Structure 1
Amino acid sequence: MKQAELYARARRIRLVLTDCDGVLTDGGVYYSERGEEMKRFNIRDGMGVVRLREHGIATGIVTGETSPSVVTRAAKLKIEELHLGIQDKPGRLREILARTGLTANEIAFIGDDTNDLEILDMVGLSACPGDATIFARNVAMYHCQAFGGHGCFRELAELIISAQQTAIRV
């Protein structure tokens, strides 16, 4: 996709939704005899959430996981759109659109795997981490250089902020 079209799409974004594992995390999970113990989140991605909020853009997580660590991370970052255990991501997107009054063109989504393909194809701006599966890369409009859990969400956030600031200056 050409940069002019990418920026035009980014200028419309009012809500950035993300998958969790493989995007906000590197996809790794630490297990003990008690089960899942920890996931690693990137502080720079968290700053991406803060910066988007400062620019009037909401954020949300839509994930098939139900991990307590995701709840803790979302609470710390004051993410209001938290959707856990979602197997039908396109259906959840339709619910979010109906509730918020936003259009699909005002939504960005970043995902990394086959369970994200439909929602990636529905939004105004879709992205994937640099280490996403080939399936996600074939659908996503923007391919981050950063890998999952290593700043890809921040990269997308800065792209959107930059595009919107450029629109203001013109």
Structure 2
Amino acid sequence: MSEKVVLEAGSPAPDFSLVDQDGGTVSLSGLRGRRVILFAYPAALTPGCTTEACDFRDSIEPLRAAGYTVLGISPDAPEKQKRFAETEHLDYPLLADEDRSVLTAYGAFGEKKNYGRIVQGVIRSTFVIDEEGRVAHALYNVKATGHVARIRKLLEV
């Protein structure tokens, strides 16, 4: 496998400005002063990604009450993100990283094993970013099922 970015706790989170499912722009620098959970998923409207996104949806109130802003990110176009949000009643921004530049900057796109083969793709990952824009936690190769419960336990939410 090739050399890729791996973010670590304490490192600056790469800034970004991306379009969400409603056509608005979300930038990490615009969220300074707030804690952010950014989760990277391979593809909207697929079974594993739906499970993970719905788990975040079902935990959104306690996460917000604890001061977290939840953002999903995938290479899907805004139109597909909108269908995903509407179909699954997701009430948080889904960001379109169609050129995969942000996913790559976070180390969430690159070579991965898929059914024993090495392929290029999104590496299911979650990043917790503190109020100063630094990475508090970087979790790579997470499983869709049960992941949000593990995040909540890690964050004591």
The normalised TM-score by structure 2 is 0.45
The normalised TM-score by structure 1 is 0.43
> Which one has a larger percent helix, Structure 1 or Structure 2?
1
> Which one has a larger percent strand, Structure 1 or Structure 2?
2
When Rg is computed on C-alpha atoms for both structures, the one with the higher figure is 1
